[in-house]
Chains A and B, each alone.
Chain A
């Protein structure tokens, strides 16, 4: 079990050998929050995305204006930081408009981002990807139209485990790996609650792997935010179950010999009804994915690539940074052809094997591209493995020169409808009660053969 030390004391060597600046613990004072979250602020309400030909541009910030410092966020007028105005829909790129009744100004008083911020000092390392995730959640919640008192965050152990303390909602910081099981009891006990599970790659896939697969198969109506940074942060830098084979870490000075888990494939293997992937450096997309996970009736499993700038800096930069993001990230949208690199390349399926096609040359067009169908588990399985490992199980070499390398998919990889766990539990209770009548304690105690002594 990891030891839950409170203060990150970065001490130098990162896997790539670069020396990181020593940062005193407790420096994080919320300013990073703004820094990290700023790209999200840049979206003015109602910003229209430029019209793009079908398949081009996906739906997110790939069309970053050159020179923009932030890794993500569509171009738009910079807006002073502050809470979104009540009822504003600052992510009009979410797709379909919200159903009636949603939108934060429905029943009661409209809530703002501040309403979801607790008075506790956020103590993640400065520059940690967790800040962007926290900020995105706090911005999303007012839009979801749920009553604040019904929102509960449950976490395990690890850096991500501190998440509930920073939310001014109900919450429980549980024990290592067990958040899905705590959530199962809570949500089944009170299905009215809006339960979120916050976990990390070690918490969810190593010590808590069992609970993760079972909560997914049961389809508990909850959101699971898996902060994947491919390293153990809170215990100061051991390799994790998602670390690439060969990772040099505190516990693997000669390189790890473990084959890593692919969280999306694990979730699909456990018959998850909603599986999506997003990244901390694209708050727009992250917010859209969180909203989609929340809208889903069942377990909304969301893998978030999260940068640990202390122990595993840059693990996902090829997908998240401006220089390479277009080439390496494929943003999926249901019913749309799969294209990337600003629409210059696409994905087609050659039997069961996805391959990159060049849409600028004469041979292929958008019509040849694979069209995303998030309801297909088979397609989800292919997409989950895409750009993951080569035939020998080694990580796909990053950024090759040929341009034929498969990008990694982000977005909703799979979504299907099926009854949720708490729903079925309570239906069964209702059915039995309808058949047998409400329980009568005295009758129960007197059931079976009895005899009376006068």
Chain B
């Protein structure tokens, strides 16, 4: 443990990562989000990652009841929620035990010493007290009698001891805000609003918050105070947005821009439920949220709404996608728009419900009976969730096809500073319903009557004619049986089946027309391309930057369009000697790549631990592939 410093100096640093960890009941998520808000006010770039247990009320004080919130903020570009923690606030012994390994050597740890009694150590399954056994020798430790100070500060109130103790997270928040020179006002404002009708609680929280903030000033123990300057971000208006929230906003934006009603069918599942929670708040956009009886009904109701001319969307996680698979196939056959968001989590089966994994790519691309291709998109950051959801809806409607969106809990729960888009600049979203009988869409049926041809196609996209029930003269039947070309009648004809399978596949391939040119980060040609998809973007770009800084000719591409692959990807691959494919699975994109580019070699980097990549893991792999960097 370091000796107390005599004075407090303020040191400017480019970025920092803090981690609040405590018991599930300690209010760590609130503490973290309030610290995030203060960092946003300080105009830092930021990324956050909450980490809470799958159990709702795990026994207090145990390691599996630990709830944490990590925040990375900086004056420079922040791509991930941080790899090494600079400050850990540990509210009890279990929190320290669980999260100590994430703290960088020399990092600061604030511990609530009142939660390191014998009983606390026993609950945390610790034989010895880490405060005294040398465990923390490599760190700057601030022992704060947090519970005691909080109780003292509120000794003249009528609040129960339980309520008093519940406000101790505000002390931790106040102290952390002081340490990083953050404004305290946003938190004060939030408390006043949140507890407006409970003055006693409001005042207690304000008192304790202030105590924490002043503790840093008055206690000499804390040697250094840090300052992180405003980030040089592109001009615009920003907010912190979580991925789940951004997905919901993207769906609402798609509904507004297309003038289609959003019908969202959903069955609660971690970590997708937050999209339902968010959307159910926005009924004044005409959004229908339908909490279905099961995953299957969530999808089939959305498809039914699409048949009716709505924008049918559902979201789930891997197990739910398995249940929706037959409906997705029906969507492929009936050629109706349907967006299915898969918030991936560790699998198989129930797997690791609260941990991220990129385990569902093959399920998304190939996982249906029969020849049933569909476009697959993957969101690359919390803010990108907005644009990916929007784009998925646009493609689904334009090509009349189910579209799968791959995200995960890391994106869904994590947040970043998001530049709010100007809605006028979003891609145009036109809908071309058939509204009346035209020569193109009508024929005489076997009885000599005029009949609508639901499977007449647009020559550019191959999208079929889409007529809403309720439109006179365009009555038609859809269904899961193979369709006759143009008429849509049931057909078991051999030639027709092959033709229809090929048309549906070509239609999905045509989506490449809508994929923008592939952007390569770092070197646009060179020794090695890091090729990933979805939520690993932050780590991959961070790793690319470090490798480039170390003199390597490395570039990276993180795919948003997983299927079909961008048409220019072959060209990009051709500009690099090696291609490294990091994935949080046992190698799924790489199988698709090997199939599509059989003459290329691809090197896998697989991590399947329910945890995101650290950039350094990718940098190391690049090093081992390329050998020692050439002298500069």
Chain A: which residue is nearest B36 at the CB level?
A449
Binds A, one of B211-219, B289-297, B507-515, B590-598: B289-297
Binds B, one of A133-141, A187-195, A225-233, A358-366: A187-195
A401 an interface residue at 8 Å Cβ cutoff? no
Chain A: which residue is nearest B289 at the CB level?
A425
B366 an interface residue at 8 Å Cβ cutoff? no
Interface residues, chain A, CB within 8 Å of chain B?
4, 6, 117-120, 147-150, 152, 154, 157, 164-165, 167-176, 178, 181-190, 192-193, 210-211, 213-214, 425, 428-429, 432-433, 435-439, 441-442, 444-446, 448-454
Most chain A CB within 10 A, of B263, B297, B312, is at B297
Q: Is the Cβ of A449 less than 8 Å from the Cβ of B239?
A: yes
Among B304, B421, B469, B472, the residue within 8 A (CB) of A181 is B304
Among A119, A170, A441, the residue within 8 A (CB) of B451 is A119
Q: Is the Cβ of B472 less than 8 Å from the Cβ of A147?
A: yes
Q: Is the Cβ of B470 less than 8 Å from the Cβ of A190?
A: yes
CB neighbours of B446 from chain A (8 A): 119
CB neighbours of B492 from chain A (8 A): 6
> Which 8 pairs of residues, A with B, have the shortest CB-CB distance?
A173-B479, A185-B304, A439-B285, A185-B301, A182-B304, A181-B297, A189-B308, A185-B305
Among A6, A148, A173, A436, the residue within 8 A (CB) of B478 is A173
Chain B: which residue is nearest A212 at the CB level?
B293
Q: Is the Cβ of A451 less than 8 Å from the Cβ of B43?
A: yes
Q: How far is the CA of A170 from the CA of B307 in the complex (A)?
A: 10
Q: Is the Cβ of A442 less than 8 Å from the Cβ of B423?
A: yes
CB neighbours of A445 from chain B (8 A): 249, 253, 420-421, 423
Q: How far is the CA of A425 from the CA of B305 in the complex (A)?
A: 14
Q: Is the Cβ of B475 less than 8 Å from the Cβ of A172?
A: no
Among A4, A182, A429, A453, the residue within 8 A (CB) of B235 is A453
Q: How far is the CA of A182 from the CA of B338 in the complex (A)?
A: 13
Q: A181-B300, A449-B40 are known contacts. Are A150 and B282 too (CB-CB below 8 A)? A: no
* Bitwise interface map of B from 442 to 479 toward A, beta carbon under 8 Å scored 1, else 0: 00011101010000000000000000111111111111
Q: Is the Cβ of B447 less than 8 Å from the Cβ of A449?
A: no
Q: Is the Cβ of A189 less than 8 Å from the Cβ of B309?
A: yes
Q: Is the Cβ of B237 less than 8 Å from the Cβ of A450?
A: yes
B110 an interface residue at 8 Å Cβ cutoff? no
CB neighbours of B449 from chain A (8 A): 119, 168
B184 an interface residue at 8 Å Cβ cutoff? no
Chain A interface, DSSP helix/strand/loop, else mixed: mixed
Q: How far is the CA of A78 from the CA of B413 in the complex (A)?
A: 72
CB neighbours of B284 from chain A (8 A): 429, 432-433, 435-439
Q: A181-B304, A444-B282 are known contacts. Are A453 and B43 too (CB-CB below 8 A)? A: yes
Q: Is the Cβ of A186 less than 8 Å from the Cβ of B253?
A: no
CB neighbours of A454 from chain B (8 A): 235
Q: A171-B476, A189-B310 are in contact. List 13 more A-B contacts (CB 8 A).
A: A149-B474, A164-B479, A165-B489, A175-B327, A182-B300, A186-B304, A211-B293, A438-B285, A441-B256, A444-B249, A446-B237, A449-B37, A453-B238
Give 29 pairs: A residue, B residue, CB < 8 Å, sorted on A.
Answer: A120-B489, A149-B472, A170-B469, A172-B478, A173-B478, A174-B330, A184-B292, A185-B265, A185-B302, A185-B306, A189-B263, A189-B304, A192-B470, A193-B470, A210-B297, A429-B286, A432-B283, A439-B252, A439-B256, A441-B256, A444-B285, A449-B239, A450-B239, A451-B40, A452-B236, A452-B238, A453-B235, A453-B237, A454-B235
CB neighbours of A120 from chain B (8 A): 489-490
CB neighbours of A192 from chain B (8 A): 470
Q: Separation in Å of the B248 CB from the closest CB of chain A?
A: 10
Q: Separation in Å of the A109 CB from the closest CB of chain B?
A: 11
Q: Separation in Å of the B145 CB from the closest CB of chain A?
A: 33
Q: A185-B304, A446-B239 are known contacts. Are A211 and B297 too (CB-CB below 8 A)? A: yes
CB neighbours of A433 from chain B (8 A): 283-284, 286
Among A170, A210, A441, the residue within 8 A (CB) of B252 is A441
B581 an interface residue at 8 Å Cβ cutoff? no
